[in-house]
């Protein structure tokens, strides 16, 4: 008798007609076999799927060049198919589920012809965690199979665990023919099912990540009383050896991975990594909020990564890795066979191929590495991995940071007055868009809690859910807004960022431990400058003042934009949010 899992695989194979079906066991040998196949026999556009890099300088590392149209998430092609549009909310594209399936059935018919269907059983979350979820993804490309093995706990044990059960999360993925007109990333939240065709890119194709662990999981959390968030999880160790755990939500390409692996510029402080992208948050029996990272890999932005900005990541990438490391759409230094990207240490190599494999030189007005080029690496390679990483209970959270990329207005750091005020602070957040998704870059958009592309249901209800979670917590984390990206009149970042961000984290740790006071402004509590350790930094007083300035007029304009955004959600916006909105509008007058 076939199990429900076997039946499902068979059904999908009948539709997509692969030449072979291969059940992955998740072993190291298997990963190498898949890499070999991808290196020798499989192509995307004109390139083999994997290309072996200099193994001495970058052990176990391979370069992958994606289809040129397939370099970032495609939010306009991403749908959340609830039974009704109102449940999906104005924050999501929506299609009626049966209509969506009809469309995808047509597109997927025979799409795996000539290919192998890989069956990937994996867990999101530590298997001993009550919140862990057993999942199975099907895919027709070795790159995705190998990536999923790095990013998730993948292996045959998961298939055994599923056994005859029906309640596993299903992900169907095919790269199809990469035609953007036949590219869709569709979510069926009521069936724990994701169906993605036409793209091999990270967030579109590694279905355990944004698709399941955020869009579907946020909907599960809404019903089950927990939160799935686009957040870093770190422990901050102070010179006394005490560790304070925090999470931080920041939109795509706005500094999460760098924060997660921060090398402290302040002596005695150390940051321990638990997660760099996704946090599942549950209330604990002690009235505190606990966080786990459902992933086991990092899918990081390459450009800007260097010994100066993120030495821990460079060490992780260069370590003799047990798991393979993949570089996607990086440039290639022909003379040394090493990957390269803008912002890497050292001089620009003489002989570069750009991310599409074409000869490149620095007189060209283009980037050699794609601005959204990435690396995929096991979190176990990180020299900063927390000893709590595999603790299935998670870590208790003392502070939640809500950040964004704001060249103007938003101060370096501000603390919310309380949980409700903090939820409003998150709801009014915005960020300037980046190359992580295909759209115009550098445009301000509203992005509450960094979840606008990832909240799997009506965002108005999501704010209500945050408020409810706060009511359950007797010792809620404090909520802070942070912004590393404010610029001066010449367009240069005022704050040095990266390892220096520890100075802000130190203030936050001091606040949650009631060691320092703060200054009240209409938007929240900002530091007394004397309480910020700025020793050794060279920022002029007027620029420093700018980092904390709260001037009413631009804030009133911001608030108008926020009001317009929130109004779209109509009756879904909780009255508490409008209450906070009005009280800020009043205080700014
Ligand atoms: P996703 O993987 O898309 O979720 O991105 P992320 O939020 O993890 O961002 P990441 O840390 O990869 O940083 C994105 C870009 O911002 C990189 O080019 C970094 O070099 C840059 N960046 C990160 N932190 C800072 C900072 O503190 N200051 C400045 N100026 N840039 C930063
Ligand atoms: C993001 O865009 O937020 C990422 C990359 O972390 S992806 O996994 O593609 O979503
Ligand atoms: Mn991310």
Tens of pLDDT, residues 215-227: 999 999 999 999 9
Q: What is the CA radius of gyration of the chain?
A: 23
From the candidates 24, 111, 254, 455, which is the catalytic residue? 254
Q: How confident is the model at residue 581 (pLDDT cuts 50, 70, 90)?
A: very high
- Averaged pLDDT, 295-322: 96
* DSSP code for 487: B
CA 428/CA 221 separation, integer angstroms: 22
- 1: pLDDT confidence band, cut at 50, 70 and 90? confident
Specify the pLDDT at position 375: 98
Residue 311 predicted with pLDDT over 90: yes
- Is ligand 2 within 6 A of the CB of residue 75? no
Question: For a pocket test of ligand 1, which of 253, 273, 376, 485 has the largest count of ligand atoms closer than 8 A to its C-beta?
Answer: 253
Mean model confidence pLDDT for the chain: 97
CA distance 218 to 325: 29
Strands 169-174 and 133-139: parallel
Report the C-alpha gap between 91 and 85 in whole angstroms.
Answer: 10
Cα 437 to averaged position of ligand 2 atoms, centre (Å): 8
pLDDT of 236: 99
Q: For residue 520, what is the enclosing H or E element?
A: strand 519-521
pLDDT band at 546 (very low <50, low <70, confident <90, very high): very high
Q: Which helix (H) or strand (E) holds 122?
A: strand 116-124
The CA distance from 92 to 461, in Å, is 13
In Å, how far are 264, 487, 545 from 495, measured between CA atoms? Answer: 15, 8, 12
Average pLDDT over residues 159-182: 97
Cα 49 from Cα 46, distance rounded (Å): 9
Q: What pLDDT, on a 0 to 100 scale, did the predictor assign at position 422?
A: 98
Q: Which residues of 46-64 are buried (b: 16+ CB within 10 A; e: fewer)?
A: ebbbbbebeeeebbbbbbb
pLDDT at 40: 95
Nearest partner of 279 among 11, 477, 417, 145, judged by Cα: 477
| Index of the ligand 1 atom closest to the CA of residue 232 | 8
Which residues sit with their C-beta closer than 6 Å to ligand 1?
Answer: 250, 252-258, 276-277, 300-301, 303-304, 309, 436, 484-485, 493, 497-498, 501
Q: Which two tokens stand for residue 521?
A: 């402004």
88: part of which helix (H) or strand (E)? Answer: helix 85-88
186 lines ligand 2 (CB under 6 A): no
Instruction: Show the tokens assigned to 459.
Output: 């965002």
Residue 396: name the closest of 287, 479, 472, 296 by CA: 287
- Nearest-atom number in ligand 2 for the CA of 436 is 2
277 φψ region: left (φ > 0), alpha (ψ -120 to 50), beta (else): alpha
Q: Please state, in angstroms and rounded to a whole number, the distance separating the CA atoms of residues 191 and 308.
A: 46
Of 117, 175, 120, the residue nearest 149 (C-alpha): 120
Residues 453 and 254: their CA atoms lie apart, in Å, by 14
pLDDT category at 142 given cuts 50, 70, 90 is very high
3-class secondary-structure state, position 44: strand
- Helices 4-16 and 97-108, packing angle to 10 deg: 60
Long-range contact pairs involving 55-59 (C-beta distance under 8 Å, separation at least 24): 57/318, 57/336, 57/338, 58/317, 58/318, 58/325, 58/338, 58/339, 59/318, 59/319, 59/320, 59/321
If you take atom 10 of ligand 2, which residue's CA is the nearest one?
A: 203
Q: Residue 504 and residue 533: Cα distance in Å, rounded?
A: 8
Retrieve residue 363's tokens: 């007189």
Residue 297 to residue 376: CA distance in whole angstroms: 7
Cβ distance 129 to 291 under 8 Å? no
Residue 202's Cβ-side half-sphere holds a number of Cα atoms within 13 Å equal to 30
Tens of pLDDT along 527-545?
999 999 999 999 999 999 9
The pLDDT value given to residue 470: 98
CA-374 nearest atom, ligand 1: 2
- pLDDT tens-digit series, residues 183-240: 999 999 999 999 999 999 999 999 999 999 999 999 999 999 999 999 999 999 999 9
The single-letter DSSP state of residue 191 is G
- CB-based contacts of 147, cutoff 8 Å, min separation 6: 202, 205, 206, 297, 299, 326, 376
Asked if residue 231 lies in contact with residue 477, where contact means CB atoms within 8 angstroms, the answer is no
Q: Which residues contact 484 (CB under 8 A, 6 or more apart)?
A: 255, 403, 412, 493, 495, 497, 501
pLDDT above 90 (res 364): no
> Is-catalytic flag, 24?
no
CA 310 to chain centre: 17
Mean pLDDT of 81-107: 98
CA of 75 to the centre of ligand 2 (A): 11
Q: Percent helix, strand, coil in the chain (nearest 5)?
A: 30, 25, 45
pLDDT at 362 over 90: no
Q: How far is CA 358 from the centre of its chain?
A: 30
- Please state, in angstroms and rounded to a whole number, the distance separating the CA atoms of residues 248 and 2: 44
**pLDDT (mean) for 428-439:** 97
pLDDT at 552 over 90: yes
For residue 139, which of 214, 211, 80, 77 has the smallest C-alpha distance?
211
Tokens coding 526: 């900002």
State the pLDDT at residue 290: 98
Look at residue 164 and tell me whether its pLDDT is greater than 90.
Answer: yes
pLDDT band at residue 361, thresholds of 50, 70 and 90? confident
Rounded Cα–Cα distance for residues 411 and 400 (Å): 16
State the average pLDDT over residues 365-392. 97
Protein residue with least CA distance to atom 1, ligand 2? 252
pLDDT for 427 beyond 90: yes
Range from 96-110, 141-155, 309-323, 469-483 carrying the lowest mean pLDDT: 309-323
Q: Which residue's CA is the nearest one to ligand 2's atom 5?
A: 203
Rounded Cα distance between 227 and 249, Å, is 12
What's the pLDDT score for residue 452?
A: 98
403: CA distance to ligand 3 center in Å? Answer: 13
pLDDT at 369 > cutoff 90: yes
H/E stretch holding 325: strand 325-328
pLDDT value at 467 more than 90: yes
Confidence of residue 327 (pLDDT cuts 50, 70, 90): very high
- Helix H or strand E segment including 139: strand 133-139
pLDDT above 70: percentage of residues in the chain: 100
Q: Using DSSP, state whether 243 is helix, strand or coil.
A: strand
Give the Å distance between the CA of 277 and the centre of ligand 3: 5
Does 321 score more than 90 pLDDT?
no
pLDDT band at 351 (very low <50, low <70, confident <90, very high): very high
């Amino acid at each position: 008798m076939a199990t429900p899992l076997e039946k499902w695989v068979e059904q999908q194979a009948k539709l997509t007609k692969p030449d072979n079906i291969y059940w992955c066991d998740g072993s190291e040998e298997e990963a190498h076999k898949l890499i070999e196949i991808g290196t020798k026999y499989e192509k995307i556009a004109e390139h083999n799927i994997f290309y072996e890099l200099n193994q001495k300088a970058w052990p176990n590392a391979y370069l992958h060049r994606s289809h040129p149209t397939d370099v970032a998430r495609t939010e306009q092609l991403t749908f959340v198919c609830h039974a009704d549009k109102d449940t999906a909310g104005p924050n999501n594209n929506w299609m009626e589920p049966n209509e969506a399936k009809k469309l995808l059935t047509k597109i997927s018919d025979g799409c795996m012809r000539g290919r192998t269907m890989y069956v990937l059983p994996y867990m999101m979350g530590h298997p001993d965690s009550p919140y862990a979820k057993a999942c199975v993804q099907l895919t027709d490309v070795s790159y995705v199979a190998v990536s999923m093995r790095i990013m998730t706990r993948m292996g045959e044990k998961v298939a055994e665990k599923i056994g005859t059960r029906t309640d596993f999360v299903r992900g169907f993925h095919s790269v199809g023919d990469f035609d953007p007109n036949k590219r869709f990333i569709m979510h069926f939240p009521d069936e724990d099912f994701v169906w993605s065709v036409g793209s091999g890119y990270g967030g579109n194709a590694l279905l355990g990540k944004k698709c399941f662990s955020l869009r579907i999981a946020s909907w599960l959390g809404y019903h089950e009383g927990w939160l799935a968030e686009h957040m870093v999880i770190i422990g901050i160790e102070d010179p006394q050896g005490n560790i304070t755990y925090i999470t931080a939500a920041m939109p795509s390409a706005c500094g999460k991975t760098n924060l997660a692996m921060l090398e402290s510029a302040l002596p005695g402080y150390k940051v321990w990594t638990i997660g760099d992208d996704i946090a599942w948050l549950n209330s604990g029996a002690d009235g505190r909020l606990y966080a786990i990272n459902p992933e086991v890999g990092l899918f990081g932005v390459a450009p800007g990564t260097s010994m100066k900005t993120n030495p821990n990541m460079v060490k992780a990438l260069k370590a003799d890795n047990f798991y393979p490391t993949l570089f996607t759409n990086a440039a290639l230094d022909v003379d040394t066979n090493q990957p390269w990207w803008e912002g890497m240490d050292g001089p620009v190599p003489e002989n570069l191929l750009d991310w599409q494999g074409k000869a490149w030189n620095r007189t060209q007005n283009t980037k050699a590495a794609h601005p959204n080029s990435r690396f995929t690496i096991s979190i176990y390679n990180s020299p900063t991995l927390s000893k709590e990483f595999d603790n299935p209970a998670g870590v208790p959270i003392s502070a939640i940071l809500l950040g964004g990329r704001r060249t103007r207005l938003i101060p370096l750091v501000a603390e919310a007055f309380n949980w409700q005020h903090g939820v409003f602070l998150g709801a009014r957040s915005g960020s300037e868009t980046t190359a992580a998704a295909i759209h115009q870059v550098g445009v301000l958009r509203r992005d509450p809690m960094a979840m606008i592309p990832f909240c799997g249901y009506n965002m108005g209800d999501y704010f209500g859910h945050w408020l409810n979670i706060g009511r359950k917590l007797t010792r809620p984390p404090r909520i802070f807004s942070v912004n590393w990206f404010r610029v001066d009149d010449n367009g240069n970042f005022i704050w040095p960022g990266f390892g220096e961000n520890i100075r802000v984290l130190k203030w936050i740790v001091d606040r949650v431990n009631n060691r320092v006071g703060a200054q009240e402004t209409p938007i929240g509590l900002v530091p007394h400058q004397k309480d910020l350790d700025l020793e050794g930094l060279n920022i002029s007083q007027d620029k420093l003042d700018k980092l904390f300035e709260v001037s009413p007029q631009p804030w009133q304009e911001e608030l108008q934009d926020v009001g317009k955004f929130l109004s779209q959600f109509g009756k879904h916006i909780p009255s508490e949010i409008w209450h906070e909105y009005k009280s800020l509008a009043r205080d700014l007058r």
